[in-house]
Structure formats: C-alpha cells, structure tokens
Chains A and B, each alone.
Chain A
C-alpha cells in the first residue's frame, strides 16, 4: 500500500517537461491521454480505482453549472472538481480524427 505517499506519482518514468497541459484546459469533446497524476497517493487512489490511470483516454463531455468538468473514461461518467482536474497532466492525441 502506498503508505509512504510520494508528493506526486508519475506513471511514465521520465516525462518531458513539455507536457504541462492540464485536463482543466481541455475543451469539451476533445479526447486526451492521461500522462501523470499530480496528487498525493491517498487522493489519487479514488481516481485510480475508477480507471483514471496514466495512459487512459479521457474526454471532457460537459461542465457542471459551477464550471467543474464532467469527463468520460471507459464509458463511465465522472464528475471532478476543477482543482482536481488541474492536477491531471494530459497529452493531446497525435492522430486527430
């Protein structure tokens, strides 16, 4: 168990600093790939359990009345806070379809 929680946990070994795009910046209906979760382990775990893992495809589908993102991951709808979404580093998918 990740009891000794690292400040931030990275999925890919050495992520280049270029991918500083956050999920909170992504416009609606644009699918992106999750690169890194900048959250302490105990806060990241609920995300991990719901399939929000580095490498997964994630797509903001709408925003709540207060402007918080609602995203689609693996066919599940998840509501996040924008503070949480801003801790998720993402990458645009190169093959734009």
Chain B
C-alpha cells in the first residue's frame, strides 16, 4: 500500500494527541465533481481555513474549521469529487478511506454532508445509496437550486427527505443561500463514541456478497433511485440555453480551436503586460523599504547581511508574485467557468495520439501553475499506466516557478517589439516558445513511455461537461490568497535560508580590508569548482551556483543571483539584476539557460511528491536523470545554434 498520508508540517497536532483532549466533531464533505463542493467548503470555513500544506504541496484533503455559533466549532474535511466508490482511481480511494475511517491522519467522520447538483439529480444521486449504508448522520445538500427553478425544473424536497430518510437542504453555495441551514445541521453533530472499535463499514459501488454482475447492480440501484426521484415529483430542468449557445461556439469545428488558441495567447500576453505595473509597484516597495532599513542601521556586517543578502535575495523573487497570481487568476476563471472541460475535449484527440487519456489534460494544464497539485490531480486518471505517464511528463509543463527566471532573462535579453500587431510581442512570443518547448518534450516523452515502459491499449474516455457558470469572485479570491501564502512562505523559508547561507559564503575568508572579492570568497571557489561542468553551456560560476541552489526550487536561482550581485555590486545601488546579467551572459548562453530551465527537474517538492505518488524511488530517479540529460544537451545545442 502506498503511503498516501498528507505531509503536514506542524500545522495540526497529531491525532492521538488531539483525541485525548477535546476533539472537534469531524464532518466529511463529499459529492460528485462540479457539484459545488469546494465553493461550499470555502463558504463554510471562510478565511479561517487552515492551509494544511507543506510549502508548495497541496495535499489531497483540506481540513477547515466551521464556526457554527459562538461556542461551537466543528471540523470539515473537503474530499476529492467522486462519482462512485469503486476505488478505481486514487481520488476514490482517498475518499473511501476517510469515510470508512481508515485514513491514517483522520478519525472516522461523525457525519457526512453529501452535496449534489440538483439540476442533474438522477445521476448525481447514485452516490446516495452507498453513503447511507455508512449509517452515520447525513445531510443531503441540493445545490444549484436556483438554476433548477430558473430552468423550469422542480422537486418536492420534503418528500425526497422522507423517502431517503435524511435531512435535505436546498442551497446556492455560490451566493451563500442555505448555508445557515447547513450550519444548523453541523451544530447538531455529536462526536460518536470512541470507546468501541468502529464498526467495519465498507463502501463500494456494488454491495458485498451480492452475486449480481456490476452492471445489474448498477441498474437495480438506478431503478430504486428513479422511483424515489419520481415520487419526490422531480421535474428535470430544460437544457441550459446559455450552455448550448456557448458550446456552439467553443466546440465549433473552426471557432472552437481558434478560441482555444486565443485564450492561451491572451493568458500569456497578459502575464507580461498587465503584470508590469504591479511588479514595478512591488519592486519599488522592496527597494524603498530596503533603503529605509539601510538608513536606520549602522554600517556593518548585519546591515550587509540584511540588505545585500536577505533583501536582495528574497526581494528579487517576491517581485514575481503578481505574475504568478495573474496566471492562477486565469486558471481559476477557466476552471470555474466550465471552459476548461471544453478545452480538455478539444485536446483529447491530441492526447489520444500521444497515448494518453483526455482526462490527463486537466492535471497537465494545472501543471502550468505548479507540478505538485498537478501530480496529485493525476489521481483522477483511471488507468494506472496512464497515470504514471501523466505524472512523469507533468514537470515539463511550464510551472509558475519557472516564470521568475524566464521573465528575468527575457526582459534582460529580448527586445520589446510587436510580432503580430498589438496581440503578440517578441517577449510574449519567446515565452510562448518556451511553453511550447515543454509541450514538445512532454509529447515525445509520453509517446516513448507508452511504447516502452508503460505500454497499454488506449482506454475509453468520458468527460463531464458542466454548465457554464459565472466564476465567483470570492472563490477565486480565496484561492489566490492561498497561492500567495504558499509562494511567500516558500520565499520566506527556502529563499531566506539560501540567501543567508550564500551571503555568509561570500564573506569568507576575510581579508585585512574586510570581506574578500567575490571571486576569492568561499562561494566563488565553490562556483569555480562547478564551472568546468557548465562551461560548455556558456555559463559562468555565478550561474553555476544558481543552478545548484535552484535544485531546491527553480525560482531560488533568481534570489541567488540577487544575493551574489547584491554583494558584488553593493557599492552601486542603481545597477539592476537585468543589467548585471547582460554584462555577464551572452545572448546564446541566456537562451541556453532558458532551455535548461525548460527541461530540468529542479524542484525537491516535485521529487518528494513523485516518490509518494509512485510508491518508491524508481520513477523520481528516472525522471530526474532523464530531465537533467535533456536540459544539459538542450542547452548545449541551443548555445551553438544561436
């Protein structure tokens, strides 16, 4: 069995500790994908959500606290969206383990909140039967009630509650309608007895010991449900007109792919254009606060450490926060609006040719933000070999940690200018090219893998296309806040620590006149040891040090260069990182460095999550060596080509 337990870093006390003291009632929130589960979770837990993340590692279950009233708080666990309990996918296994009380880091839940999209009641209720078999208090949330009524559907929810024997609440989680009723339910949840061992309950799509083949069991369940739904006088809503109209364009033979391309280009262009004023603002804030601090401190080693080491190192990375947030903003809008599923459909044929499932498109696309949640998202890929192939190629997707170094080098070496009218400039084009490079590497790698190590027949593909919805500002805002926290915490921990170590290495061995010339310092000597290895790529020792420190995380290289040049040019404050790079790096070498970063797996968190998700070191080691080989040879060729 794989170790799926979440890596949390000192955020929660261990369970055994908590159990001896007062444990909060634990409620599991489950539902099919796109039923509004996470929106409801955010509604209920609000900003007090405990971000149970290892820096950069999004774990598969979020635990948040809900304040029901002044005295009472309960814990809510947000589980992955599932259609059933076959445990065919890792997501389903996680959900099952938590509900059955087998999860290592959580007790069995005291109650369940099952949320469904009531505009598609019949198929969504397929989850009800297995959940009711758990025999723990259950609340059925009929979400998107407003949409049901708008489109002329109806349902007698009291009758449904009677027939199923559960409490039922009508909600519209997006605007918060019905949330108070859910809180009332949560208020009544009692902690179940812990004295006795929990009864063995096994969730399954098909009841145990029933000799019926799976399909008959499903059909029988469906018949029972149809009766329930009929007696509760369910009138299914008219087809969503807006969705049909939008699909006519977004899935059109010609317009569909065009819109797809336009969306991609607009996202990348805006990373460079919209972000600039914001980045200038952040930069101004950092430099002026640094100057202010410097003026308050006496000249000495401490000021040098703080300003040249920490401020220059951490500051040079924090500048990229606006760009990363813009990328996540777009991904959030695309996902929440329902367009992402259409994009997956458009991409599926290509994925099929490569030998992957269309379902792999969603994890791969989120890989553009960060490989770690993407590798976890690959759990929805049903075939084990397809899942392995998907997570193997995910780090080729250009994650946001590459943006700092890409943005820095592009801004330093690529001139501004228009390539395609006002839509696409040179800089955005180079950035798009780097993203393209990642895609090509991913496609070729997947193609090779599926014909060698992970050979398999192409499977079937089913993709839910949710109705289009206006994304909620609140929900996206919360996610952006979450990402900012993670990014700043990384900057605050890894980059901070690296900056201090590097600064110390630049200060020794001391000379009579104080700190040595940077070339003679301990750091300079380490760099010169590395230099022969990277000299064929046209990199000097400073870049070499950056490559070593960026093994921890890609964006660290920017902080490292910030520190090195910060110390080197401490006397000259006006010189920027871009200018010093132009001085020390040729254009071919800069392109080589970009290519190196496009391919190399410089992220310890990714390696760790790979080990966890593949259950061993084999895949992460193979992946790391393969990507390093590609990076080195790619940069070697690029330097000679340009």
The answer to whether B122 touches A74 (Cβ under 8 A) is yes
The minimal Cβ–Cβ distance linking B135 to chain A, given in whole angstroms, is 21
Please report which residues of chain B, range 109-124, place their CB below 8 angstroms from some CB of chain A when the two chains form the complex. Answer: 119-120, 122-123
User: Which residues of chain B come closer than 8 Å to A80, judged between CB atoms?
Assistant: 460-463
The answer to whether B123 touches A1 (Cβ under 8 A) is no
User: Which residues of chain A come closer than 8 Å to B237, judged between CB atoms?
Assistant: 75
Chain A interface, DSSP helix/strand/loop, else mixed: mixed
The minimal Cβ–Cβ distance linking B226 to chain A, given in whole angstroms, is 10
The answer to whether B248 touches A70 (Cβ under 8 A) is no
The answer to whether B346 touches A65 (Cβ under 8 A) is yes
Residue-wise interface mask of A (7-42) relative to B, using a CB-CB cutoff of 8 A (1 in contact, 0 not): 001110000000000000000000000000101011
User: Which residues of chain A come closer than 8 Å to B248, judged between CB atoms?
Assistant: 62
- Chain B's closest residue to A73 (CB) is B123
The answer to whether A65 touches B205 (Cβ under 8 A) is no
Contact of B465 among A2, A70, A83 (CB under 8 A): A70
Known A-B contacts A50-B462, A87-B460; the reply to A77 vs B243 at CB < 8 A is: yes
The answer to whether A9 touches B213 (Cβ under 8 A) is yes
Residue-wise interface mask of B (448-473) relative to A, using a CB-CB cutoff of 8 A (1 in contact, 0 not): 00000000001111111111000000
- Chain A's closest residue to B250 (CB) is A65
In the docked arrangement, what's the CA distance between A32 and B609, Å? 45
The reply on B626 being an interface residue by CB < 8 A is no
Among A37, A43, A54, chain B packs the most CB atoms within 10 A around the CB of A43
- Chain A's closest residue to B206 (CB) is A1
In the docked arrangement, what's the CA distance between A61 and B344, Å? 18
In the docked arrangement, what's the CA distance between A63 and B348, Å? 13
In the docked arrangement, what's the CA distance between A42 and B456, Å? 14
Known A-B contacts A53-B222, A79-B348, A81-B348; the reply to A45 vs B123 at CB < 8 A is: no
Count contacts between A and B, CB distance < 8 Å. 145
Known A-B contacts A65-B253, A68-B345; the reply to A43 vs B236 at CB < 8 A is: no
In the docked arrangement, what's the CA distance between A43 and B214, Å? 12
In the docked arrangement, what's the CA distance between A83 and B466, Å? 22
The reply on B309 being an interface residue by CB < 8 A is no
Please report which residues of chain B, range 241-287, place their CB below 8 angstroms from some CB of chain A when the two chains form the complex. Answer: 243-244, 247-248, 251-254, 256-257
- Chain A's closest residue to B126 (CB) is A49
- Chain B's closest residue to A64 (CB) is B345
Contact of A1 among B86, B251, B341, B459 (CB under 8 A): B86
User: Which residues of chain A come closer than 8 Å to B45, judged between CB atoms?
Assistant: none
Contact of A51 among B122, B348, B465 (CB under 8 A): B122
The minimal Cβ–Cβ distance linking B342 to chain A, given in whole angstroms, is 8
Known A-B contacts A46-B83, A65-B346, A84-B460; the reply to A76 vs B213 at CB < 8 A is: no
User: Which residues of chain A come closer than 8 Å to B188, judged between CB atoms?
Assistant: none
Residue-wise interface mask of A (61-97) relative to B, using a CB-CB cutoff of 8 A (1 in contact, 0 not): 1111110101011111111110110010000000000
The answer to whether B214 touches A47 (Cβ under 8 A) is no
The reply on B218 being an interface residue by CB < 8 A is yes
In the docked arrangement, what's the CA distance between A60 and B348, Å? 18
The answer to whether A11 touches B88 (Cβ under 8 A) is no
Known A-B contacts A65-B256, A68-B345, A76-B120; the reply to A49 vs B205 at CB < 8 A is: yes
The minimal Cβ–Cβ distance linking B379 to chain A, given in whole angstroms, is 14
11 A-B residue pairings within 8 Å (CB atoms) = A9-B213, A45-B86, A48-B218, A53-B219, A64-B349, A74-B236, A75-B120, A77-B243, A79-B341, A79-B464, A81-B358
Q: A2-B214, A9-B215 are in contact. List 14 more A-B contacts (CB 8 A).
A: A2-B213, A9-B213, A45-B86, A45-B205, A54-B219, A62-B248, A64-B251, A65-B253, A75-B120, A75-B237, A75-B239, A80-B462, A83-B458, A87-B460
